Structures are given as structure tokens and as C-alpha cells.
Chain A
């Protein structure tokens, strides 16, 4: 995998990491991109919020909703 990702490729990896482990070089390329990009860290933050809320949403019983 190349080291310079476009935002589209970077988002693809952020999203894919929900369903499969990223390879070492994918992780490196993603970290590098996130470090220099102004936009993609926001998508990463959004996906983290979605992850957290999805975990509650799917198990309302355990959280006492």
C-alpha cells in the first residue's frame, strides 16, 4: 500500500477497521494521513461516536434503557 492516501482512501480504511483488522502498512498509511489531514480526523471522531452509540443502541437492556 502506498504511503500517501487520498481522503477517500483514508475514510475507506477508517470504515473498514470496524469490520476487519487493518494490515500494518494500512495502519501506517492511515496514521500518516490523519496526522497531516484537517478533515479525516473529524471523520474518525464521528465514527468513534457512532461506535460508542451503536454499542448502547444494540444492548438497551444491559444499559438499563
Chain B
């Protein structure tokens, strides 16, 4: 029979190994966390702060990680929570009091409501290689969105908030939000259109 102390030490050792491995994974996840925080917040100083805060919280709560989800998913969930907190505390400062000017509608449509240039059908990125290319374009296009549009768009698409929550957190009206989301989505489509067609041909 194995003595009790042996089992206990063994368990302690296994636990420590696990902890070191998780810490290493945490360090590895940092650039990705920073990238997402920058995209969402559009402010490098806030992004650095919120990611440091996330890593500290993750280390403190490491024992609470039960391995039911992927580790990175768990850390990203903490990051999202921290960012949401920041928006709720600083909502009115980061919000857009007025919808900034954006001529995207005029760029696409004639005054009568028809297309300036007829849209072309996109090649559907079915195969994995094409999918990676599309993803890279999507990434770059989201990054290129104007500040206010990008923030609101990612609150919707990445933080996964519904429109009522975004209005409340940022203290903006529903119509402002919808105009901003509309323009963000059209900008994204326009940006992908240019880059994806170049790739496809």
C-alpha cells in the first residue's frame, strides 16, 4: 500500500506542474489579449492596463480554473469582463456624443438610391487556405475602422452585447447606435470588397 504522504506529495507536485504550465500559457496568450484589447478600446494605454489587470486576476484565480473550458477561452472571458467594467465606469467619456461624419453611404450610393458601382459576387472562402486569407483581411479591416465605429462594432461582435446594453453602457441613443453600426458594417464590407476581390483575381 502506498503511504498517504506519498499520494499527497504526488498530488502537490502534479498541481504545481499544472500551475507552471498554465502560467506559461498565460504568457503566451498575452500578445493576443493585447491585440483584442487594443482593437476594442482603441487606446494603447487602456489596453495595456486592462491586459495587466487580466493577467493578475487570472494568476490569482488560477486555482479556480477547472479545465472545463479551454484555458485561453477562460482568460479571454476575464479580459472581456474587465473591458466591460471599464466601459461601464468610463462610458460617457469613451462614448461619442455625436455621430461623427462618415460619407460611406454617399461613397456607395447615388443620390437616387442606386449603386454607384454594381456590387460583384464574392468568392466564397470555402477551403481552409482561402479562409485564412479572408480572416487576415477581416482582421485588417476591423483594425482600420474609425475609432467610434470600431468600439461600438466590437462591443456588439466581440463582447457580444445586445444593442440596448451598448446604449446604456455608453449613454448613447438607439438611433446613434444604429447609424454607427450601419456605417461600421458598410465600411467593413467595402474594405473586404476591395481586398478580397484583389486576392480572388
Contact = CB atoms under 8 A, between A and B. Distances in A.
Contacts of A49: 122, 124-125, 134
Chain B, interface SS category? helix
Interface residues of B, number: 38
Contacts of A12: 182
A12 B185 CA distance: 10
B119 A42 contact: yes
B11 to A, nearest CB: 29
Contacts of A15: 182, 185-186
Nearest to B163: A19
Interface string B131-144: 10011001100100
Interface in B121-168: 121-122, 124-125, 131, 134-135, 138-139, 142, 156-158, 160, 163
Interface in B178-194: 178, 181-182, 185-186, 188-189, 192-193
Given A15-B186, A18-B185, A54-B157, A45 B139 contact: no
A50 B192 contact: yes
A54 B113 CA distance: 28
A19 B135 contact: no
A31 interface: no
A18 B184 CA distance: 12
A25 B124 CA distance: 30
Contact of B76 (A9, A46, A53, A61): A61
A43 B76 CA distance: 32
Contacts of B158: 58
Given A11-B108, A57-B138, A61-B70, 17 more contacts: A6-B109, A8-B108, A8-B109, A11-B186, A15-B185, A16-B178, A39-B115, A42-B122, A46-B119, A46-B192, A49-B124, A50-B138, A53-B131, A56-B131, A58-B157, A58-B158, A61-B72
Contact of A53 (B70, B72, B121, B134): B134
A56 B119 contact: no
B73 interface: yes
Contact of B189 (A6, A47, A62): A47
Contacts of A19: 156, 163, 178, 181
